[in-house]
Amino acid sequence: MNVRVVLICVSFVLLSDLCLGQNVLPPQIRIRQTMDGLSSAGGLSRSDVLYGVDIDQGRVLGDYYLDTKWNPASILMVGSEKIIEGYPVKYDIEGDAIEVMVGKQIKLIKVSQVESMIWYDSITNVPLAFINAKGFSENNVALSGLLEVLVDGDIPLIRKTTIWVKRPNYVPAFDVGSKDTKINKREAFYYAKGKTLFEIRKKKQLIALFGDKGVEMGEFIKVNHLNIKEQRGLSNIFLHYNSLISKESH
């Protein structure tokens, strides 16, 4: 055999061995082997569970705070005239607690210890007023947490915010559903009669509530195009009604 041909053959074999020795993919998962495995009848289908392989647990979307900002507040404690003043706070609805930033530490005050609270929005500086829901009821069910007083007066306007959580409904066997936990907030508006709250649902309900001022209030709502489903509209309605009652009492 020609010596040159022999040398070329030997070089080719050595080059092949060298290439094999420099593979970055492990021998168990070569491209050709993987393609063959995917096309074989014995491969895993989408409905098979891969034991030992962690499934993404999903995200937590949302939060339990009425407002995620730290807002400076004044807090009146139950059973005393003591006021905790000037500290930034957050209201954890689900935990039923006020988080207070003291220096670099966070202290917790249970809502059951709070008589009332006023905080000032750290961006708009608008004050928001809250009272303890203890003693109040809705449909004969006792309430807890904090209630936001939007308008005070003869008939107060109240906002109540509650939490409901949508749990993950992901089904691994069929690869359908959501892996995420979704934290949702629901706002509802009420008027208070004594210690009983009534959810505001229709304009007719308000007209009846305002009694002999009903017709006048109905006209006020119509002329000013006020929406009873929105805070702004309801606040204007109750401010106007309470101002009328206040004028009569003086």
Amino acid type, 183: I
Listed residue (172, 173, 146, 175) closest to 158, CA to CA: 146
Question: How do residues 113-161 score in pLDDT, each as one tens digit?
Answer: 999 999 999 999 999 999 999 999 999 999 999 999 999 999 999 999 9
Listed residue (175, 180, 177, 168) closest to 50, CA to CA: 175
Question: How do residues 66-96 score in pLDDT, each as one tens digit?
Answer: 999 999 999 999 988 888 998 999 999 999 9
pLDDT level of residue 2 (50, 70, 90 thresholds):
low
Q: The tokens of 182 are what?
A: 């979704």
The whole-model pTM stands at 0.73
Backbone angles phi, psi at 120, to 5 degrees: -110, 120
Under a CB-based contact definition with an 8 Å cutoff, are residues 70 and 121 in contact? no
For 190, counting Cβ atoms within 10 Å of its Cβ (0-12 exposed, 13-18 middle, 19+ buried), the class is buried
Segment 172-180 long-range contacts (CB within 8 Å, at least 24 positions apart):
172/49, 172/55, 173/47, 173/49, 174/47, 175/46, 175/47, 178/58, 179/55, 179/56, 179/57, 179/58, 179/59, 180/58, 180/59, 180/60, 180/61
Residue 30: pLDDT above 80? no
Residue 100: pLDDT above 60? yes
Number of other CB atoms surrounding residue 238 within 10 Å: 26
Q: The tokens of 67 are what?
A: 């407002």
